[in-house]
Structure 1
Amino acid sequence: MSVKVYERILQLFEAEGISTLFGIPDPNFVHLFHLAEERGWRVVSPHHEESAGFMAEAVSRMTGKPAVCIGTLGPGIANLAGAIMCAKVENSPVIFLGGQRARITEQRVRRGRIQFVQQAGLVEPSVKYSASIEYADQTDEIIREGLRKALSGTPGPVYIEYPAHVIQEELDVPPALPPSAYRLVGQTAGPDKIAEAAALIGAAKQPILLVGHGVHTARAGESVKALADLMACPVIQTSGGTSYIAGLEDRTFPYGFSPSAVEAVVGSDLCVALGTELGEPVHYGRGRHWVENEANRKWVLVEQDPAAIGVNRPVDVPLVGDLRAVVPQLTEALAPRKPVPRLENWIKQDADRLAELAESAPSGRSPVHPARLAVEATKVFPADGIMVRDGGATTIFGWTYSQAKPHDVVWNQNFGHLGTGLPYAVGASVADGGERPVMLVTGDSSFLFHVAELETAARLRLPLVCVVGVDYAWGLEVGVYKRTFGAGSRETGVHWSTETRLDKVAEGFGCHGEYVERDEDIAPAIKRAYASGKPGVVHVVVDPKANSEEMPSYAEFRTWYAEGMQ
């Protein structure tokens, strides 16, 4: 069949099940945008290319598939840089397409060229693969190579550039191939290794499952639930893997922040790790809480990238493959076990912990204590909702005081990029088709990074409520000043206008706005925001002193940076 290059691009992505596109239409890509909408794609144009990249990343997390984002030539690609780097560190397979001037323009010896820079070199350190389509008939091989690289080993972003003179050329091509015809799909582990892992699990007296971010992004919750049921053990949740698996909520304990998790880790004689890099936030699986029983503990690691095996700690049985395929192999090889001793005690202990935190969070204050904000916002979180996190101090308070156990949580723990919250929330809701309620819990400084995307949310009529803790400052950094120089010291560059009303800003974008100064008003304001039928912003004034000085579990958080930071 004869097609234009831009149509072929869409066909190749459609073969992967991709049907959503983010970006601000580059002159090179206007025909692609137009045709994508005609073919039934969801085409979302935000107000900043970096937002587009974050939105695409959220779609990938929510679907378990690669996502597509387009940047206009020159400044558009420059604007994407933060999102590209975030996708790399967060292991998100996003395909970034860039427009570019015709190659004749690039190769001329000229000065003063408009909207031109050599782009590939800018992004190469932040992607797994970078390529340019120099000839139209390279389209299939380069798009497929991009998808292959994005999804093989540790997932990550790729960059593919289209010069203006190529994208409207004609191609004579066959129908697009299915993924299984050109890349490895559903890689399983060897049966010998599965048998070894099953033997270790069968012999263990105190096994644990360590579940990370990759379980959520692979959409593997159901199969992990089956494995956890057979193992009858506690599920230890990394700080990146904060999405709770349906049916495992009561025995999922956050690593480092729950005494139940710490006790289970210390006493474990086997750790089966899924979807985690065993990085700093879990002390590489060998420091802090892991030290005491290290000599008696065996490790099974499910990992897609063979080069990652044994890097951060020794592993007894590596299971190399896609966890969506490997975990079912494990369940087939296992017989049901008796529940791990003390499991019921740990479940009760953790439930009591959450209830005590809800009770003890300071209340009756105005401004609101940030711990009480976390309690009041999350106790009315919809059971079927999608939670998005952003902010520094706000997220730290949320780790400890959150009363919700959502099945979908989106935030970037690895990169720590502030300002992702609102674009993530928009992207997650787009991936969901706008069916489920979405709650963003964030701080004011983070929220302002991409506040213009409130218009995008309003335009798309997304069921999104943004609960914003407002201390009119970079609260986490204020705390750093205080710890470094002492209370009462000068705090340079971390405070902003106390007259800014984010609820009024929201109304200006066509959203619903609420202003709250008392903790008893938080839950009703959130409910009114959802009932409004518009995206909502709940501006909650929080106590700046408490926000900067009373962050819970901060000493635990600082242990993540033991090397070279503190």
Structure 2
Amino acid sequence: MTEITVGELLARCLQAEGIEMMFGIIDGAHIPFTVHAPKYGIRHVNCRHEEGAVHLAEGYSRTNGKPSVVIASPGPGGANMLAGISSAHAEGHPIIAIACTRRRLTTDPERGGAWQATNLVDMAKPITKYSGLVRQPERLPEMMRAAFRAALTGRPGPVFIAIPDEMLGMKIDDEKIPVYPSSQYRMTNMGAGDPAWIEQAAELLANAKRPFLHAGKGVLWADASKEFIELSDYLAAGMSTSMGARGAVPEDHPRYFFVFDMQASSLAKNEADVILVVGSRLGEYDGWGSHPAWGKPSEQKTIQIDVDANSIGLNRPVDVGILADAKSALKAILSKVKEKRQARTEMEDLPRYRELTQQTQMQGFQFLMAEPTRGLNPGQMVFNARTFFPRNAVTVLDGGNTTLWGVAFNQIFEPRSFLYSVKMGYLGTGVPFAIGAKLAAPERVVYCITGDGAVGFNIMEMETALRENAQIIVLVAVDDGWGMERSAHNFGGVPAEQQQGVNISGEMRYDLIAQGMGCYGEKVDSVGELPAALQRAVDSGKPALLHVTVDSVLNTDPPGYKQFRYVRTL
């Protein structure tokens, strides 16, 4: 008989799932686990806040497509983690959240007055796909399997496991508690789906005169961008992506319709005779898949591919629903389409659609060329950053109006190169998302464009970046206020002197805060200073933060703001 601690057993469970990195703040109860983690190839990243730790894990998962682990202490540590878990739940990120509870003698059930006794398991249930308390050491592997199965089956999402703190130090006979690899207890690839469905989809697409393809984040999770584009190219079909799936198609592809190119995109989608939706629920910022953003379902055929049966036909009725892995299904459809027709060389009416695209671009150009009276035009800040950084750089956006400028003037060219809290608009995710992305892909450049309000939430994680040698470049658009709230007041006709809760101290120096943590910091007050400042930030070899003064008046009217408000009313 070989005895190991339950903590070491937990490390074995995580190793079996390929976990190489975990995030969070270590509690004394974790020691029987954390001392063994390196032996099982698991690196711990010490963070400054448990919510920030979850956001780091989200950035890590989004960039490499793997699940991430976050650990937290009993009571307040676990409660802090729940805020981040709500982000992962909304965005569909497979986060394995593990928190200790205080000893069962006083907390299971809670006797009243117990220190740090919090019912985290029930609190986590509405924002996770699985939440459970391990009551017997022998059931730990089983419950970890249940957690990973839930996190990675169908639409990805977070799970929560609570472990009493005294349990991790208990000894157990490891020969009696086997740990299985993922292939032995859960489906790791759903395959291409029912051949009859594939045949129907291929028939519709092969005979379509105006096919159109739309990618959601499921295309990225399935690593199916190549297959998505190959099918589109063979059919000469138009393409679009959801906001979260930006990068699934290079945004300079000749048949790609950008998210802000609403006139051209809506017209192409309305005139399409067959729509193929892959890995998307067609949510609010996809216009719910409804007219006028899309054609009427009665007048065009819709094919939908998804790993989650609950997502098929959710917001738009379908003619063919394919429950399958996106990569496998797209390969199978293309193979069948090739049997039925020759490749098409031109998209119907593309020049007519591009006339509308040019009109949209000219409107955007007006935003970009507006002269600031103070600091930089926010669009120029974004445009210069995109021009400076390489094509395959990872872009992270955070904030309100700052994000709208970032979406408009920062093209994305490769998969897993764009991180933003799309469904939640969760402020404060930018810096930790960027750190997680850099840890997942250390060979890639990672830069974050954020607002001064948003950066304040988790700016202390810059010290985490320094300690973990994660060189990220953060551009903070400083307008000394909550920009989108100013816009809302202006839009509602509220005079500036009557606007409440929109200002932040103009004395703040975010570059000095970064310097105080040992990072590189610099203040930029004109567009001419920005390229050299970016170069100095890169050359520093450290995590860097640029305090970029932007014109507060220009910042209240970013491109896409009116469309943003319109979509929210649909």
- Normalised by the shorter chain, which TM-score bucket? over 0.9
Seen in structure 2, the aligned counterparts of structure 1 residues 528 and 348 have a Cα distance that, compared at 3 Å, is farther
Say yes or no: does 1:425 pair with 2:434: yes
Q: CA separation in 2, counterparts of 1:16 and 1:410?
A: 24
Once the two structures are TM-superposed, the CA of residue 229 in structure 1 deviates from its matched residue by: 2.6
Residue number in structure 1 paired with 2:22: 21
Residue number in structure 2 paired with 1:91: 92
Say yes or no: does 1:337 pair with 2:343: yes
Larger mean CA deviation between 225-234 and 458-467 belongs to: 225-234
**Contact 2:258–2:265 (Cα < 8 Å) also in 1:** yes
Q: CA separation in 2, counterparts of 1:528 and 1:249?
A: 32
Residue number in structure 1 paired with 2:173: 171
Once the two structures are TM-superposed, the CA of residue 217 in structure 1 deviates from its matched residue by: 3.2
Once the two structures are TM-superposed, the CA of residue 126 in structure 1 deviates from its matched residue by: 0.8
Say yes or no: does 1:212 pair with 2:220: no
Larger mean CA deviation between 224-233 and 128-137 belongs to: 224-233
Say yes or no: does 1:454 pair with 2:462: yes
Once the two structures are TM-superposed, the CA of residue 246 in structure 1 deviates from its matched residue by: 5.4
Write the deviation string for residues 39-85 of structure 1: whole angstroms up to 9, x where unpaired: 33221011000011111112221222221111111001110111111
Say yes or no: does 1:440 pair with 2:441: no
Q: CA separation in 2, counterparts of 1:353 and 1:276?
A: 25
Write the deviation string for residues 146-180 of structure 1: whole angstroms up to 9, x where unpaired: 11111122221111111123222323236632212
* Aligned partner (choices 555, 558, 564) of residue 565 of structure 2: 558
Residue number in structure 2 paired with 1:399: 407
Q: Which amino acid aligns with 2:376?
A: V
Write the deviation string for residues 10-66 of structure 1: whole angstroms up to 9, x where unpaired: 222222222110110122212322222233322101100001111111222122222
Q: Which amino acid aligns with 2:174?
A: D
SS at match of 2:496: coil
Q: CA separation in 2, counterparts of 1:247 and 1:404?
A: 6
Larger mean CA deviation between 470-479 and 148-157 belongs to: 148-157
Write the deviation string for residues 451-472 of structure 1: whole angstroms up to 9, x where unpaired: 0011011112222100111001
**Contact 2:384–2:531 (Cα < 8 Å) also in 1:** yes
Unaligned runs of 5+ in 2: none
Write the deviation string for residues 128-157 of structure 1: whole angstroms up to 9, x where unpaired: 111111111101111001111111222211
SS at match of 2:240: strand
Residue number in structure 2 paired with 1:269: 273
**Contact 1:364–1:518 (Cα < 8 Å) also in 2:** no
Seen in structure 2, the aligned counterparts of structure 1 residues 533 and 355 have a Cα distance that, compared at 3 Å, is farther
Aligned residues: 560
Q: CA separation in 1, counterparts of 2:409 and 2:513?
A: 28
Q: Which amino acid aligns with 2:182?
A: P
Residue number in structure 2 paired with 1:243: 247
Once the two structures are TM-superposed, the CA of residue 110 in structure 1 deviates from its matched residue by: 4.3
**Contact 1:389–1:410 (Cα < 8 Å) also in 2:** yes
Say yes or no: does 1:306 pair with 2:312: no
SS at match of 2:167: coil
Say yes or no: does 1:71 pair with 2:80: no
Seen in structure 2, the aligned counterparts of structure 1 residues 11 and 296 have a Cα distance that, compared at 3 Å, is same
Larger mean CA deviation between 265-274 and 211-220 belongs to: 211-220
Say yes or no: does 1:48 pair with 2:49: yes
Once the two structures are TM-superposed, the CA of residue 218 in structure 1 deviates from its matched residue by: 3.2
Once the two structures are TM-superposed, the CA of residue 393 in structure 1 deviates from its matched residue by: 0.3
SS at match of 1:187: coil
Say yes or no: does 1:362 pair with 2:363: no
Residue number in structure 1 paired with 2:522: 514
Q: Which amino acid aligns with 2:543?
A: P
Give the TM-score normalised by structure 1. 0.93
Q: CA separation in 1, counterparts of 2:108 and 2:47?
A: 32
SS at match of 2:261: coil
Residue number in structure 2 paired with 1:464: 472
Q: CA separation in 1, counterparts of 2:214 and 2:412?
A: 20
Seen in structure 2, the aligned counterparts of structure 1 residues 257 and 350 have a Cα distance that, compared at 3 Å, is closer
**Contact 1:99–1:164 (Cα < 8 Å) also in 2:** yes
Q: CA separation in 2, counterparts of 1:115 and 1:377?
A: 46
| Correspondences of 1:217-232 after superposition (within 5 Å) | 217-232=221-236
Residue number in structure 1 paired with 2:38: 37
Q: CA separation in 1, counterparts of 2:370 and 2:39?
A: 53
Once the two structures are TM-superposed, the CA of residue 248 in structure 1 deviates from its matched residue by: 7.0
Residue number in structure 2 paired with 1:136: 137
Seen in structure 2, the aligned counterparts of structure 1 residues 394 and 350 have a Cα distance that, compared at 3 Å, is same
Structure 1 consecutive aligned stretches of length 4 or more whose deviation exceeds 6 Å: none
Once the two structures are TM-superposed, the CA of residue 494 in structure 1 deviates from its matched residue by: 1.9
SS at match of 1:11: helix
Identical positions, percent: 31
* Aligned partner (choices 499, 510, 517) of residue 502 of structure 1: 510
Q: CA separation in 2, counterparts of 1:310 and 1:404?
A: 29
Q: Which amino acid aligns with 1:419?
A: G
Residue number in structure 2 paired with 1:284: 288
Give the TM-score normalised by structure 2. 0.93
Seen in structure 2, the aligned counterparts of structure 1 residues 497 and 19 have a Cα distance that, compared at 3 Å, is same
Larger mean CA deviation between 75-84 and 316-325 belongs to: 316-325
Residue number in structure 1 paired with 2:321: 318
Q: Which amino acid aligns with 1:559?
A: Y
Larger mean CA deviation between 153-162 and 417-426 belongs to: 153-162
Once the two structures are TM-superposed, the CA of residue 2 in structure 1 deviates from its matched residue by: 4.2
Once the two structures are TM-superposed, the CA of residue 93 in structure 1 deviates from its matched residue by: 1.3
**Contact 2:367–2:379 (Cα < 8 Å) also in 1:** no
* Aligned partner (choices 499, 502, 509) of residue 491 of structure 1: 499
Write the deviation string for residues 508-536 of structure 1: whole angstroms up to 9, x where unpaired: 11111121111122222112211211111
SS at match of 2:117: coil
Larger mean CA deviation between 174-183 and 523-532 belongs to: 174-183
**Contact 1:363–1:372 (Cα < 8 Å) also in 2:** no
Residue number in structure 2 paired with 1:413: 422
Q: CA separation in 2, counterparts of 1:94 and 1:371?
A: 34
Q: CA separation in 1, counterparts of 2:335 and 2:466?
A: 47
Q: CA separation in 2, counterparts of 1:248 and 1:217?
A: 22
Q: Which amino acid aligns with 2:491?
A: R
**Contact 1:209–1:234 (Cα < 8 Å) also in 2:** yes
Q: CA separation in 2, counterparts of 1:260 and 1:333?
A: 30
Once the two structures are TM-superposed, the CA of residue 356 in structure 1 deviates from its matched residue by: 7.8
**Contact 2:364–2:559 (Cα < 8 Å) also in 1:** no
Write the deviation string for residues 434-480 of structure 1: whole angstroms up to 9, x where unpaired: 21110101111001100001101111222210011100101101111
Seen in structure 2, the aligned counterparts of structure 1 residues 331 and 18 have a Cα distance that, compared at 3 Å, is farther
Unaligned runs of 5+ in 1: none
Larger mean CA deviation between 91-100 and 353-362 belongs to: 353-362
Write the deviation string for residues 260-291 of structure 1: whole angstroms up to 9, x where unpaired: 42332122111111121111111111132214
**Contact 1:239–1:254 (Cα < 8 Å) also in 2:** no
